[in-house]
Structure formats: structure tokens, C-alpha cells
Structure 1
Amino acid sequence: MTFATLAGKLLQLGHPIPTLGLRRIESRARRVNVDDLVAIAVALNVSPQALLMPEGDTAILPTALPDTFTPAEARAWMRGDLNLTLESRHDFWLERLGEIETALIEAERLAASSDPQAAGWGRRRAIKLRSEQAETSEQIEAIETLIRKGGERGSAADTAE
């Protein structure tokens, strides 16, 4: 979608932002208030969270979150599924590990299928899940290390507890 098209949609919504303003927002030269965020989300037919925290591991984290926060944790925090304490983050990853292990059992069952298409899908899914399982285990270990060391000093998590 072009800036002109988006600016037109925003005008129709009663929240005009000129194309130059949109360009500055995209280049991070202009701040966005909550009204701007909601209007842009409506115009793009996405949730505000999708604009604040896009999917993917390379997403830029919002300012003030602990340095050790991952994009997955930030998205869970924005949904209200996680708070800033290390214990909450630890529980989040333990739950995620359980979900992965359950999905891995199903993928391995499919990989053993006599149906070649299902077996191929199961093998590919199992490979992906084993990688996620290893990454999740690493997150759990990193958070357990932080807990043993007494937490994250100087982060938002210190003030949240």
C-alpha cells in the first residue's frame, strides 16, 4: 500500500496523517501516539499489537524492556500473558516447551506413517520442532542463570517486582 493510499484511508477514518507524516513515522523520525497507532491499525486492517511487535525473531523490541527479553516474550507481555518478572518468563518458556514436546510427539507419529506425504510432512515438522525445543531449552537455562545470579539489575523487571 502506498503512503498516499494509507493517508487517504486515514482521512476517511477522521484521523488525517499526511504522506510526509507517514514517511517520517516509517523512518522513526516522527513519534506515534495511541490515536495514530489505532487509526493506522484500522486502516491497515491489523491489530495495534501487530504494528508494535511484528512476528519474527528479528523484531525490534519496545524501549525499556529488559535487554534479555526476546521478541516472543515481548509479544506475550503485550497480550498480557507474561509480566516482567524472571519467574513469569521462566513459566512462559516452560509452558512453551511443553507445547513443543506435545507437538513433537504428534509429528513423530506422522513421520512413522505409511502415507508418504504424511510421513514427509511429519519428518519436516519434527526437525523444526526439535530446533524450537533446543532454543526454548536454552531460554529456560538463561533465565534460570539470571534467577541464580539475583535477577536483572537496572532493568524494568527490577521495578516491576
Structure 2
Amino acid sequence: MDEEQAEPARTRHINGAGPVGATVQQNVSLWRIRRKLSQTQLADRVTACGRRMTRQALSDIETGRRRVDVDDLVALALALDVSPATLMMPDVRRAYTEVELTEAPTVRPERIAAASAWAWFTARGPAWDDRTETDVEEFQEDAEPYWAEDARLHPETAHRGVEPGEPAV
């Protein structure tokens, strides 16, 4: 059995983080190293994004002694120049590799293919593998912000905060 198919041990950090929280903690360290930043440099960037963070707080996140809340997640993603969804995804190499979203089975499986998890995190599809095209369409209709379709239809203005037909300032 290759390493991608091996059943991973459940990770529970001392701060009580579940699988996605633990993944965020690991990815903060991974992306900080990829960006060639020290803990102090990243903490300073996070603080510049409006979320006060010390080097010790960042160290505590990376070692699992501190949980990451939603505001931390957004500021860390901005400071690392990645999406919050990127920080929530395990660093796997194959789309079909199963990833853990929760610790207990629910109505849907607790583990799904990485591609399905990414689709769910980015509002492109529901969080289960055996979905139909209709499931995906219904999910997108409910999950996407009301302006998302307009942004797809008018990408040239949507990302600049300009209404379609108005001159860019």
C-alpha cells in the first residue's frame, strides 16, 4: 500500500483542534517556509493585515498549542498570499487521495477525495463524492454569494469594485 493510500492516524492537538484545524496549523508552517519567512516576519505581516500576532503566538499555532480562529485564518492567508481554502486543505499530491474533514461520521462521509473537499471549500460542489450534476448545480445556487454569477459574467469590472457599464476610476 503506497503512502497516499495508507490510513492516517487521527490527529488531535492539545488545543482540541480537529482534522481541518490541525491541517491549518501544519499549512501555516509549510507556507511560511515556502515563502522563506521567519516566524517574526510572518507575525509582522499578519499584524499589518489587522490581526495582532506575535512570534510566540505564531509558534504556538504551528506547534498546535494555539487554535486558529476564522479571523486568524483570513489574516494568515492574506499574509501568506494564499486563499483560506488553501490553508484548510491537506498537502496531498493526488486528487483522489482521501482527506479527513471531521472526526465522526455524519450524514455524509467524514473522509472524501481531496478534489471533492477542494470543490466544497471553494463553493463548486457539495462535500461528498457520489454527487450528481443536479446536486452540484443546486449546491452552487445555494452556496455562492448572490453576486458570484455577475462576477463571472463581468470579470473585467467585478474585481475592481466597478459596476458593469461604469467607467473604471
- Larger Cα Rg: Structure 1 or Structure 2? 1
In terms of fraction of residues, the more helix-rich structure is 1
Normalising by structure 1, we get a TM-score of 0.48
Output the TM-score relative to the length of structure 2. Answer: 0.46
